[in-house]
Amino acid sequence: MTEHAEIAVGIGPRFGWRVPWTLIVFLAVLSLPWIGSRYDVFLGTQIAIYALFAMSLNLLLGTAGLVSFGHAAYFGIGSYACGILMKDAGVSFSVAFPAAGVIAAVFALVFGFFCVRLTKIYFAMLTLAFAQIVWAICFKWNDVTGGDQGLPDVPFPDLAWLGSLPGFQRFRIGELFFFVVLVLVAVSIAVLRRLTDSPFGRVLTTIRENPERAAFIGVNVRAYELAAFTIAGGFAGLSGALFGIFNRGVFADFLFWSKSADVMIMTILGGMNHFWGPAVGALVLTLLNQQITAYTEYWPFVLGTILVVLLFVFPGGILGALDTALSRLWRRRHA
């Protein structure tokens, strides 16, 4: 939010202190298994994973101004890497999870090396082309990926240690995994926040605003874009690793272009110019999808119509509209 918007809701410098909303929201979500149903925990896990996925994309889209139509490739690569390591190689989750992020980042580094040499629509189409190549390989490579049958029965990590803690004994594996997901997603988002606010993030913003000027003052534009592409791919791989376990299986659909479209909609819907926008978009899109599919078989039409209306009403995203409304309210109160 802008300074005006923060003041309007009572958390700005006028009061000399700031409410730690991030911590409050985290603790509220953390209490979900105690106060909500198992279905609420299921939805909370899915939303948390998608929030990290969308926020990894926003490092490219919102911060660097790079439109990627193939971000699902790294989500799927992370899913397959973690699933194969845990199911087929018997590797523990503590090793498979970070390995999935590293493997996805390596693929992003290789693909990004070629993508950043192009700009605008050509960049976007090349990211889509690489993603479809990876999808085709995963769809056909039966010996490794399971082909169109995928990798079913990806195991949950061993969380007996968590279930033995006081207050956690009554939870099943799904609820215990929710706690793990929430902590890992929170740590990942904190790292993304630090990167966005760092000099590295500010250089990416400069490149987004005017790449020619950034190059003129000595910034290696391609190197910074490649670094952002690699980091975003790594975090997408981490979210994919969590989703494969949550879904109890990894399938080629995770890499298909429609998954990239979903995460793009989440990012734009929530507000790509706000750090927490993609997380809000993931929340709204997931809840809309769950509610609409429960009432009608024509859910794609209904969901598409609602999204079109939302994007027209909130062209800057949901958080962008909220920021604008709070800023106007502050100006009226202090006119």
Instruction: Find out whether 131 and 72 touch, Cβ atoms under 8 Å.
Output: yes
**Bridge partners for 151 per DSSP:** 250
pLDDT given for residue 148 in this prediction: 87
User: Where do the domains of the chain lie?
Assistant: 3-333
The b/e string for 288-304 (b: 16+ C-beta within 10 A; e otherwise) is beeebeeeeeebeebbe
Count of residues making up the chain: 335
pLDDT tier, 10 (very low <50, low <70, confident <90, very high otherwise): very low
Residue 19 is predicted with a pLDDT of: 65
Kindly indicate the confidence band of residue 177, based on its pLDDT and cuts at 50, 70 and 90: very high
Answer yes or no: is pLDDT of 267 > 60: yes
213-256 pLDDT per residue, tens: 999 999 999 999 999 999 999 999 999 999 999 999 999 999 99
Q: Does residue 50 surpass a pLDDT of 70?
A: yes
In tens, the pLDDT along 309-332 reads: 887 888 888 888 888 888 888 888
Residue 76 corresponds to which amino acid?
A: G
Beta bridge partners of 310: none
Q: Parallel, antiparallel, or unpaired: how do β-strands 249-250 and 151-152 relate?
A: antiparallel
What is the predicted pLDDT for the residue at 330?
A: 82
Read off the tokens for 215.
């190059």
Side chain identity at 282, as an amino acid letter? A
The mean per-residue pLDDT over the stretch 33-44 comes to 92
Mean pLDDT (the chain, rounded) = 89
Is the per-residue pLDDT at 17 higher than 70? no
Q: Where are the beta strands (DSSP E) in 216-334?
A: 249-250
The least confident of 19-28, 163-172, 241-250, 257-266 is 19-28
d(CA 226, CA 7): 38
d(CA 332, CA 270) in angstroms, rounded, equals 26
Per-residue pLDDT at 196 exceeds 80: yes
Would you state the pLDDT for residue 335? 66
The string of DSSP codes covering 146-160 is -GGG-EE-PPPP--H
Longest pairwise C-alpha distance within the chain: 69
Model confidence at 12: pLDDT above 70: no
Range 121-132 average pLDDT: 95
Alpha carbons within 13 A on the beta-carbon side of 264: 15
Residue type at 186 in one-letter notation: A
- Mean pLDDT computed over 128-154: 92
pLDDT at 15: 39
**Candidate from 1-10, 196-205, 318-327 with smallest mean pLDDT:** 1-10
Q: What angle do CA 220, 226, 229 make, to 5 degrees?
A: 140
Contact residues for 191 (Cβ-Cβ < 8 A; gap 6+) = 235
Structure tokens at 263: 């995460």
Query: Residue 217 has which token pair?
Result: 């003052």
H helices of 31-148, in order, are 32-35, 38-58, 72-87, 93-115, 120-140, 142-145
Q: What is the mean pLDDT of residues 254-266?
A: 91
- Give the whole-angstrom CA distance, residue 285 versus residue 282: 5
